[in-house]
């Protein structure tokens, strides 16, 4: 392929003509170059006496035509070290197939602090929904950090169910439409709880979402086990630590319902205000 010479004529402001010609090299690696006669205009400042005034800077303007050479390089012609560098700068967006399985020896946080990356969402409201108020950023005497979750239960005889509950789910409103989070080597659910006055009664659970006797065929996924429960406990005004053993579950589980609170009107006829904090799933690698 022969080099081609192209002449172009451009009209700029003030009817100044610019003649440019290009010599293109067909070499894929070298690219091409062109030479252009281009119009230019420059400004400079000088001091000139002006009649009746002191010496002040005034603007000089000059113009002309000059020869300019510009080299080009084809984007697709990179090879050798330059090509290697270009590939290294490409971002790698690949993620592990299961990010939840990366650190099986670290406790899995269900809830610890408002605003932190907790792994479960308190979106699974049940029973008499209007009897529930939930504040996950309560700053009244938390167990640790700056916040705890405050559950206010206000039963009413006009509400039909007589009980209320909240599940912390692995995805927003996930009752089995999406798979659970894979958790390896889980040994126990641990959390802290207290009552505002003392004497409040509640039950706490883990697992059990979309399992019998409450299984729905409309949802293809369910928890691997459960529910496992503390049973009904009476809370103190002071923080107490509670633990639900997971020794009976498989080494690797899929978990939708990471934590659950349930209370009834009969257990709390005057209502209840309950605080929970530091809800964690403990894990030990290589347990039997």
User: Tens digit of pLDDT for each residue in 121-145?
Assistant: 999 999 999 999 999 999 999 999 9
Longest dimension (CA), the chain: 104
List the single range of 79-83, 180-184, 222-226 with lowest mean pLDDT.
79-83
With contact defined as beta carbons under 8 Å apart, do 191 and 149 qualify? Answer: no
Note if the pTM is more than 0.75.
no
For residues 261-266, average pLDDT: 98
Is the pLDDT at 223 greater than 80? The verdict is yes
Using CA atoms, how far apart are residues 176 and 56, in angstroms rounded to an integer? 82
What is the per-residue pLDDT for 106? 80
pLDDT band at 157, cuts 50/70/90?
confident
Task: Map residue 242 onto helix, strand or coil.
Answer: strand
Show Cβ contacts of residue 1 under 8 Å, excluding neighbours closer than 6 positions: 26
How high does pLDDT run on average in the chain? 77
Question: Is the pLDDT confidence value at 221 over 70?
Answer: yes
Report the CATH architecture of 103-283: Sandwich (2.60)
């Amino acid at each position: 392929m022969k080099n081609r010479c192209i002449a172009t004529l451009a009209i700029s402001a003030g009817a100044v003509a610019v003649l440019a010609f290009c010599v293109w090299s067909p070499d894929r690696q070298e690219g091409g170059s062109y030479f252009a006669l281009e119009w230019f205009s420059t400004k400079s400042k000088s001091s000139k006496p002006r009649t009746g005034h002191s010496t002040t800077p005034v603007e000089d303007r000059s113009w002309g035509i000059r020869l300019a050479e510009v080299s080009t390089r084809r984007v697709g012609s990179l090879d050798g070290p330059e090509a290697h560098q270009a590939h290294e700068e490409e971002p790698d967006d690949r993620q592990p197939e299961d990010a939840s399985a990366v650190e099986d020896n670290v406790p899995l946080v269900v809830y610890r602090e408002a605003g932190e990356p907790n792994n479960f969402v308190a979106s699974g409201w049940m029973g008499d929904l209007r009897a529930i108020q939930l504040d996950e950023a309560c700053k009244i005497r938390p167990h640790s950090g700056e916040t705890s979750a405050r559950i206010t239960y206000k039963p009413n005889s006009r509400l039909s169910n007589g009980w209320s509950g909240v599940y912390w789910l692995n995805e927003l409103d996930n009752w089995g439409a999406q798979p659970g989070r894979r958790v390896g080597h889980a040994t126990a659910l641990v959390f802290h709880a207290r009552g505002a006055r003392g004497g409040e009664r509640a039950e706490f659970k883990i697992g059990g979402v979309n399992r019998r006797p409450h299984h729905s065929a409309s949802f293809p996924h369910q928890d691997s086990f459960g529910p496992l429960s503390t049973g009904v406990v009476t809370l103190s005004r002071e923080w107490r630590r509670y633990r639900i053993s997971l020794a009976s579950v498989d080494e690797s589980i899929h978990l939708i319902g990471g934590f659950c609170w349930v209370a009834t009107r009969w257990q709390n006829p005057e209502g209840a205000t309950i605080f929970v904090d530091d809800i964690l799933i403990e894990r030990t690698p290589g347990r039997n």
